[in-house]
Chain A
């Protein structure tokens, strides 16, 4: 008789499964030292585990679920251990709702976990239901700054570890550096200001006349001094404005930047006005820094890693600047003795820069649109 009974189990090939196997859906959103959690667990599974059907009528009512909420939270949250580094992150204030999935009603647990410090590595140890249903799975979505990672918990792999900081920090640094480079190239006002200051750097003033610089190193050091002064100055104001110590209206800043370009161009045409261009670079660099800061704030600054994004953005700006210098310097140095350079490039170029910058200045102070750039 035993053989026949056992045989009755399996005569046909696999049946059409009427249900999904048991899954829970866990979503964790990580921000700094906090985790916002949502955990959907099938009422059927909870009934198997802790008994929801209090009156035994094979129907689970909202009243039955509601009166078991503390039990559900205690049961579920004791089977999910989240640690950040070495420290456990306890769960608080669970709230419960109901949601309907393709295979029936689920309890939705909303909870918050607070870790002792900003989460860098997160370890999740999931033990829900495996003791009752060995094919149960927990489907995890881990969300951090709009990036979603998924993982599946099963009896064979109940723990997963995630690095929250590093990968996204590296990515973030690259992204901000990229924005910095892009901004210096696309912001023609910065490029023109720099070029206006650099144009005479391969020359020197001798008795009221332009003479070519004697050797490459003196030209090089002059360029370096100007670029360094500009960099130090805009880094100071970029930092000061980004952390919020000083806030200037952007129209004022943009107009001042245009004025700085006009001034730099005119000082090439009337060199007597300016003896030390590195001081000009420094002074106006302070203004350009405020311009960079408004770009950075448009990008949106993550609170947790303000310094990182500030530094990477600034580094990007410097890389962009260096690329411009690297193209400009050999070219200008090679041409410095020619009439073309002294008359056409220096004088003509500066004139064009002044003209363009004047247009910007009018546009920005009066809020008009003159040039399609």
Chain B
């Protein structure tokens, strides 16, 4: 019962849990020694994990060794991002602990601290760290790129552009161009953005991860501007790059859902139930097809969001707003969440959620700042324009 009471403060969640709790709600003693309780997701024979083990044993002999610590932390961050597992970010932070709380940590530590903070959605403190790095090393390309990426998520497009520009000198040309054209695609220059991204993606010798970046940006841009056929092509090109990428899967699932292709979402995501964001899309597809599995998955998601709230950190507000609107059908709560999320990040999906929740809850007032913001930035997005059109008095 304890487990249930812990999540009980969302009545709907409680109801769902009581009716459909999939897991044991009481602790138990397994009957069989051979029963597998947990599968470790990261294969210990994986080269990245082997490298991590080697670095870890090196660091345990010499915990103050900055070189080893920085390498290990960077590996942890990389594995954490490809596995979608925030534990690795916490482990990266623990490795950097001897320097983390220093008044002026070494720049290499600061850069990693900024990336860890960015992943925890602590954007402002991440930017402070990046500026400190750039003060000392104005030629640090990674710091400029991370800064541009954060500013873009925050919707500070002009500043983001300024952070991309030094990359022209400091990094390969396709990196600077992808950085700039991704922003251009959000600020009224979709055509030009598409040309540049196509160029960047087609360059020979571009590392896989960077090609994936350009292709994903192209696919999302095409989807936003209503070119479904092109989007489909770029998404499948991006998937053919062959890198496991949680972001790409989510973006493609969103595209398929918008196209009314829910069965394909189920094929795409049926084994991806561990990632909250991907489970959310899978459940949306199940709901669209009236599959009974959507009930269990809704309960599971409710429990996960409740557990996240209990922890006191808010990394999943966007997903929670979408979940609350589309699966719990509680538009008022969803609006509050979408507004809280808008304070943190301002990507097209964040605007879309706010407009959808404002429409669903009949709070036209709540949509005003978003509509103004879309006008100011000349954002080209057919979905958003359709939503804005449903607020007739706001057209101008």
A interface, CB within 8 angstroms of B: 3-4, 6-23, 25, 27, 38, 40, 43-45, 47-48, 53, 56, 58-63, 65-66, 97-105, 108, 130-137, 139, 141, 152
In the complex the two chains form, what is the Cα distance from A75 to B375 in whole Å? 58
Minimal Cβ-Cβ distance residue in B for A5: B74
A44 touches B142 (CB 8 A): no
Q: How far is the CB of A17 from chain B (nearest CB, A)?
A: 5
B interface, CB within 8 angstroms of A: 2-3, 6, 23-24, 26-30, 32-44, 74, 77-78, 81, 83-87, 89-91, 93-94, 97, 100, 115, 118-121, 141-142, 145-146, 149, 152-153, 170-172, 175, 207, 209-210, 212-213, 216, 245-247, 249-250, 272, 274-278, 300, 303-304, 307-308, 310-313, 315-316, 319, 347
Q: Which of B44, B97, B207 contacts A134 (CB 8 A)?
A: B97
Main secondary structure of the interface of A (DSSP, over half): mixed
B39 touches A131 (CB 8 A): no
Minimal Cβ-Cβ distance residue in B for A11: B213
Complex interface: chain B residues within 8 A of A16 (CB): 84, 246-247, 249-250, 275-278, 319
Q: How far is the CB of B227 from chain A (nearest CB, A)?
A: 21
In the complex the two chains form, what is the Cα distance from A27 to B34 in whole Å? 29
Complex interface: chain A residues within 8 A of B118 (CB): 10, 14
A105 touches B37 (CB 8 A): yes
25 contacts between A and B (CB under 8 A): A3-B141, A7-B210, A9-B74, A9-B81, A10-B81, A10-B145, A14-B118, A15-B246, A18-B83, A21-B313, A23-B307, A25-B6, A38-B2, A58-B42, A60-B36, A66-B33, A99-B27, A131-B97, A133-B90, A133-B94, A134-B94, A135-B87, A139-B310, A139-B311, A141-B2
Complex interface: chain B residues within 8 A of A132 (CB): 91, 94
Q: How far is the CB of B259 from chain A (nearest CB, A)?
A: 20
Complex interface: chain A residues within 8 A of B81 (CB): 9-10, 15
B37 touches A8 (CB 8 A): no
A99 touches B28 (CB 8 A): yes
A105 touches B84 (CB 8 A): no
A44 touches B153 (CB 8 A): no
A100 touches B23 (CB 8 A): yes
A65 touches B37 (CB 8 A): yes
Contacts A11-B210, A38-B2, A62-B34 given; does A135 touch B153 at CB 8 Å: no
In the complex the two chains form, what is the Cα distance from A20 to B319 in whole Å? 14
In the complex the two chains form, what is the Cα distance from A14 to B170 in whole Å? 24
Minimal Cβ-Cβ distance residue in A for B44: A58
In the complex the two chains form, what is the Cα distance from A14 to B118 in whole Å? 8
Q: How far is the CB of A83 from chain B (nearest CB, A)?
A: 25
In the complex the two chains form, what is the Cα distance from A152 to B394 in whole Å? 45
Q: Which of B27, B300, B312 contacts A97 (CB 8 A)?
A: B27
B38 touches A63 (CB 8 A): no
A104 touches B38 (CB 8 A): yes
Interface centre among B38, B40, B210 (most CB of A within 10 A): B38
Q: A15-B245, A23-B310, A59-B40 are in contact. List 20 more A-B contacts (CB 8 A).
A: A3-B171, A6-B142, A7-B210, A9-B115, A10-B146, A14-B315, A15-B84, A20-B308, A22-B87, A25-B6, A38-B2, A47-B38, A60-B38, A61-B37, A65-B37, A99-B26, A102-B300, A133-B90, A134-B100, A135-B90
Complex interface: chain B residues within 8 A of A136 (CB): 90
A98 touches B23 (CB 8 A): no
Q: Which of A15, A22, A61 contacts B90 (CB 8 A)?
A: A22
Complex interface: chain A residues within 8 A of B277 (CB): 16-17
A101 touches B28 (CB 8 A): no
In the complex the two chains form, what is the Cα distance from A134 to B77 in whole Å? 13
In the complex the two chains form, what is the Cα distance from A216 to B271 in whole Å? 89
B37 touches A9 (CB 8 A): no
B146 touches A63 (CB 8 A): no
Minimal Cβ-Cβ distance residue in A for B178: A11
In the complex the two chains form, what is the Cα distance from A290 to B23 in whole Å? 52
Complex interface: chain A residues within 8 A of B121 (CB): 14
In the complex the two chains form, what is the Cα distance from A4 to B209 in whole Å? 10
In the complex the two chains form, what is the Cα distance from A19 to B42 in whole Å? 13
In the complex the two chains form, what is the Cα distance from A103 to B39 in whole Å? 11
Q: How far is the CB of B39 from chain A (nearest CB, A)?
A: 5
Q: How far is the CB of A219 from chain B (nearest CB, A)?
A: 58
Q: How far is the CB of A214 from chain B (nearest CB, A)?
A: 67
B74 touches A58 (CB 8 A): no
B97 touches A17 (CB 8 A): no
Q: How far is the CB of A59 from chain B (nearest CB, A)?
A: 5
Q: What are the 4 closest A-B residue pairs judged by CB atoms, nearest first? A: A16-B277, A135-B90, A63-B33, A18-B84
Minimal Cβ-Cβ distance residue in B for A46: B38
Contacts A16-B276, A18-B246 given; does A98 touch B30 at CB 8 Å: yes
In the complex the two chains form, what is the Cα distance from A22 to B40 in whole Å? 14
B24 touches A19 (CB 8 A): no
Q: How far is the CB of B224 from chain A (nearest CB, A)?
A: 15
Q: Which of B37, B77, B119 contacts A60 (CB 8 A)?
A: B37
In the complex the two chains form, what is the Cα distance from A59 to B42 in whole Å? 11
